[in-house]
């Protein structure tokens, strides 16, 4: 953004995370149902709802719908995330009655690693021959399996954007082609990876 100050044109400064959040928010369409992960997905979704997509529905896997969070939480059960929500349900209500019924347009996630098939690893990474456990799936495996589209956000680093993930926590196109459907998962229409350098799409071909 260019601003004028005392007659001098200056470029406004922004952080890498702010750039990624704004880019991701522009991919969100009004009226969509979006299951949102914590961190940048939350920031991008709230920005979209308060700008160009007032009728989108933000859904947290814990069962909170359309919050107006001011602060980012330290975990999914942080009540600060629930501020002025339209609706409080449960994991069964959000993941069962909404997600598993095929009503979610976008599953919006982060992760440790993302590979060429859109698979996401949030479980752990190999350090030599040792597997270092970091986290787990939470609801991410379900969210990516049953959402019509997947957004994932990560910084464009060689340790994050990889050829193949060390562990598949969350299935994207699996091995490409029809491999996802072949194991019994619903078809995913589109996957987008938002980084600080670009937005990555997939042609979903077998390799």
Which of 164, 122, 167, 166 has the alpha carbon at shortest distance from 143?
Answer: 122
Bridge partners of 9, per DSSP, are 4
Q: Mark the ranges of the chain whose per-residue pLDDT is less than 70.
A: 1-12, 205-207
Q: Domain coordinates of the chain in residue numbers?
A: 14-200
Residue 130 CA to residue 125 CA, distance in Å, equals: 8
| Whole-number pLDDT of residue 191 | 97
| Whole-number pLDDT of residue 78 | 85
Report, as residue numbers or ranges, the catalytic residues. 61
Instruction: Write the secondary structure of 10-59 as one string of H (helix), E (strand) and C (coil).
Output: EECCCCHHHHHHHHHHCCCCCCCEEEECCCHHHHHHHHHHCCCCCCCEEE
| Whole-number pLDDT of residue 6 | 57
Question: For residue 135, what are its two tokens?
Answer: 């986290």
Which CATH number is associated with domain 14-200? 3.40.1080.10
Which of 5, 67, 80, 4 has the alpha carbon at shortest distance from 36?
Answer: 67
| Whole-number pLDDT of residue 178 | 93
| Whole-number pLDDT of residue 111 | 86
| Whole-number pLDDT of residue 39 | 86
Global confidence as pTM: 0.88
């Amino acid at each position: 953004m260019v601003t004028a100050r005392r007659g001098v044109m200056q470029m406004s400064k922004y952080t890498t995370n702010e750039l990624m959040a704004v880019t991701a928010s522009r991919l969100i369409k009004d009226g969509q149902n979006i299951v949102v992960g914590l961190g940048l997905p939350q920031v991008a979704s709230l920005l979209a709802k308060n700008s160009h997509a007032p009728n989108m529905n933000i859904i947290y896997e814990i069962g909170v719908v359309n919050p107006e969070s001011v602060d980012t939480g330290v975990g999914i059960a942080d009540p600060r995330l629930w501020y002025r929500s339209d609706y409080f349900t449960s994991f069964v209500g959000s993941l069962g009655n909404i997600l598993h019924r095929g009503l979610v347009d976008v599953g919006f996630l982060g992760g440790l690693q993302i590979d060429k098939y859109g698979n996401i690893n949030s479980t752990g990474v190999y350090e030599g021959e040792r597997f270092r456990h970091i986290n787990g799936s939470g609801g991410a495996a379900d969210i990516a399996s049953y959402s019509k589209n997947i957004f994932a956000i990560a910084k464009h680093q060689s340790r994050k954007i990889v050829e193949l993930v060390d562990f598949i926590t969350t299935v994207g196109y699996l091995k490409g082609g029809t491999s996802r459907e072949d194991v019994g998962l619903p078809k995913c229409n589109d996957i987008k990876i938002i980084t600080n350098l670009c937005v990555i799409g997939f042609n979903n071909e077998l390799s």
